[in-house]
Amino acid sequence: MPEKSSTSVGIDFGGTSVKLGVCRDGELLALDTPIITADFNGPAALITEMAARVAKLRVQHPEIASIGVGVPGLVDFEHGFVHILTNVPGWKHVPLKAILSEKTGLPVVVENDANAMAYAEFRYGAARGLNNIVALTMGTGIGGGLILNGQMYRGSGCAAGEIGQMSIHCDGKAGHYGNLGALEKYTGNREIAEHAVQRYAEANVIKTIEECTPKMIADAAKAGDDIARQIWQEIAEWLGTALASIAWLLNPDAFVIGGGVAQAGDLIFDPLKRKVQSMLSTVVWERLQIVPAKFSNEAGIIGNASLAADAIKA
Amino acid sequence: MPEKSSTSVGIDFGGTSVKLGVCRDGELLALDTPIITADFNGPAALITEMAARVAKLRVQHPEIASIGVGVPGLVDFEHGFVHILTNVPGWKHVPLKAILSEKTGLPVVVENDANAMAYAEFRYGAARGLNNIVALTMGTGIGGGLILNGQMYRGSGCAAGEIGQMSIHCDGKAGHYGNLGALEKYTGNREIAEHAVQRYAEANVIKTIEECTPKMIADAAKAGDDIARQIWQEIAEWLGTALASIAWLLNPDAFVIGGGVAQAGDLIFDPLKRKVQSMLSTVVWERLQIVPAKFSNEAGIIGNASLAADAIKA
């Protein structure tokens, strides 16, 4: 692993916007204004805009030596080929690396967004210096990225890390693929909100889905709301079951957790640690850290830039 | 990965007996009579006997260049140090590699037994040529070994692969560590037998635990016993839930399954494949093989010998 890296552009391609920044050694040197994804009709126009933005950034930073792009979907990392982005119309079978590289003359790396987040935490974040890391991003869905034996682990079809689809209950609620007990169906933001509405209703408190975001439940718990505290305890039981299973399988150094749920701080991390410890042997538990992600909005930019910088050094 | 390897001794150290053989390129060239573990009082005497057996094997095979030992417990692979063997009295904090190497003058590798089984299948068995492999040994307990990115994956404390401790039910039966829903508590041989006794009793058929080994339930199912078929279906549901979760996490090329349950053949593999497929996306499923192990009794000898041979070539 190179300790010093060159300057790169990191591109965080989301369903709503495309964020771009210039990084070196995990430091954000410049941040561009986001591209609004919907303003560009299809891959060709959007990639042309990405290339124009890179050209602009190179005026200030002529030392830029590579580009890393993270995308919300399935990619072929080796070829930088986007199979499909479910939430971005028109993105199917796009040779993103080839096109962007041709337009900019720079080496390009294309990665899944959850993997890029994991890489940012591994290289410069909460899990820096550790060898075996499981990173989770908790939002509407639950994504994951794995660093194993000090390397990004992508799996045989670049589809590894789908922690939200793992089962915590063999007869439980069906996930998107008919997979019973899918973690996402218990601890995705929408499912947490639905569960909270129900728990409040049981106590004759009427709340709407919109009033039960992770932040709102955290604020309520901090204000002394016992129902809200109980909800965090339940989230910890569900999430902890999945993390303990992963720990038995992989004996990792750390779980790094990002996203709305993680922002509840000790409200989630305290019961989560207790739950995971209660499910593990001493040997597996004693090496394990469960920590919040260091990076939030900028994780994608930093992770993708770092992947690109390390790839050209390797 | 070296395609041709040198000649090695593989030692498969079990609670009852220690099996030894001479291997080259995954072929068993000679098999020694087993050492009865209980005949030797503690590590020093047993390691001395291992060294004497190796000396004897070297008379016929002077080309022996290394020794691999697999042990039923927790080891520090790097130092060849045995932390503890729960089922072998006196084996705690034993520098096995250092002692055996000193007594024989040969390089020694010490590995966990489930990892050695996985390595045998990866190098010369059912998963030969594949990159990402999850191997399971199903017996009283359920062990596992992982090959990821074409390398043995041991985890941060050499404790990875404990598939039997993974949870398939967040409110389920408690495992050995208080871990709710531990797979082993559903599909370990003893638990399968208890479940079978109960299923038969519900149909007014009286069977004992001893009459419900995996082999007996398989024979009954083959003879047309509907209850036995239903039991295999249930085992497939439980085991399949765990395998699907592992597949979502690791997107592997293959599950290789050995032990008594695997010997039921299509009775378990057919419903297991249907269950796992029903829980996965096409992308994850289409690359996945679920296959019986090639090696059985000799897996430990071949795996350990291969690990030793590859280690000295590396």
Over residues B139-162, the pLDDT tens digits come to 999 999 999 999 999 999 999 999
- Written as one string, the DSSP assignment of A250-291 is H--SEEEEEETTGGGTHHHHHHHHHHHHHHS-HHHHHT-EEE
Percent of the residues in chain A that have a pLDDT greater than 90, as a whole number? 93
Taking domain A128-292, whether its CATH number is 3.40.50.300 is answered by no
What is the average pLDDT value for chain B, to the nearest integer?
A: 95
pLDDT tier, B3 (very low <50, low <70, confident <90, very high otherwise): low
Query: What ipTM score was computed for the predicted complex, to two decimals?
Result: 0.96
**Identical fold, A8-119+297-313 and A128-292:** yes
Q: Does B250 contact A160 at a Cβ distance shorter than 8 Å?
A: yes
pLDDT of residue B86: 82
pLDDT tier, B7 (very low <50, low <70, confident <90, very high otherwise): very high
pLDDT tier, A168 (very low <50, low <70, confident <90, very high otherwise): very high
pLDDT > 80? residue A48: yes
Fill in the amino acid letter for B220.
Answer: A
Name every residue whose Cβ is closer than 8 Å to that of residue A313 and which is 6 or more positions away in sequence.
A2, A5, A6
Per-domain residue ranges for chain A?
A: 8-119+297-313, 128-292
pLDDT tier, A23 (very low <50, low <70, confident <90, very high otherwise): very high
Question: A31 pairs with which residues across the strands?
Answer: A21
Chain A residues lying within 8 Å of B279, measured CB to CB: 167, 177-180
Which of A248, A281, A285, A287 to probe the B interface (max B CBs under 10 A)?
A248
The answer to whether residues A187 and A238 touch, using CB atoms and an 8 Å cutoff, is yes
Distance in Å, alpha carbon of B179 to nearest chain A alpha carbon: 4
Q: Does B170 contact A281 at a Cβ distance shorter than 8 Å?
A: no
Q: Does A179 contact B280 at a Cβ distance shorter than 8 Å?
A: yes
The answer to whether residues A107 and A66 touch, using CB atoms and an 8 Å cutoff, is yes
pLDDT tier, B314 (very low <50, low <70, confident <90, very high otherwise): low
- Closest chain B residue by Cα to residue A240: B170
Distance in Å, alpha carbon of A304 to nearest chain B alpha carbon: 21
Of B155, B178, B287, the CB nearest to A132: B155
Percent of the residues in chain B that have a pLDDT greater than 70, as a whole number? 98
Q: Does A156 contact B287 at a Cβ distance shorter than 8 Å?
A: yes
Q: Does A168 contact B171 at a Cβ distance shorter than 8 Å?
A: no
Name every residue whose Cβ is closer than 8 Å to that of residue A223 and which is 6 or more positions away in sequence.
none
Distance in Å, alpha carbon of A201 to nearest chain B alpha carbon: 24
A·B CB contacts under 8 A: 158
- Closest chain A residue by Cα to residue B179: A279
Gap between the Cα atoms of A166 and A86, Å rounded = 20
Chain B residues lying within 8 Å of A252, measured CB to CB: 155-156
pLDDT tier, A139 (very low <50, low <70, confident <90, very high otherwise): very high
According to CATH, what is the number of the domain A8-119+297-313? 3.30.420.40
pLDDT > 90? residue B5: no
pLDDT (mean) for A266-284: 97
Q: Does A241 contact B281 at a Cβ distance shorter than 8 Å?
A: no
Distance of CA B194 to the CA centre of its chain: 23
pLDDT > 60? residue B215: yes
Under CATH, which architecture does the B129-292 domain have?
A: 2-Layer Sandwich (3.30)
Fill in the amino acid letter for A276.
Answer: V
What is the average pLDDT value for chain A, to the nearest integer?
A: 95
pLDDT tier, B87 (very low <50, low <70, confident <90, very high otherwise): confident
pLDDT of residue A3: 52
Structure tokens at B69: 């030992």
Distance in Å, alpha carbon of A185 to nearest chain B alpha carbon: 14
Which of A142, A154, A167 to probe the B interface (max B CBs under 10 A)?
A167
pLDDT tier, B30 (very low <50, low <70, confident <90, very high otherwise): very high
pLDDT > 80? residue B227: yes
Of B169, B170, B251, the CB nearest to A159: B251
Distance in Å, alpha carbon of B306 to nearest chain A alpha carbon: 21
For chain A, strand residue ranges (E) read 8-13, 17-24, 27-31, 35-36, 66-71, 74-76, 81-84, 92-94, 108-112, 133-138, 142-148, 151-153, 254-259, 289-292
pLDDT tier, A4 (very low <50, low <70, confident <90, very high otherwise): low
Residue B297 vs residues A187, B18, B58, B71: alpha-carbon distances, Å: 43, 12, 23, 15
Alpha helices in B125-171 (DSSP H): none
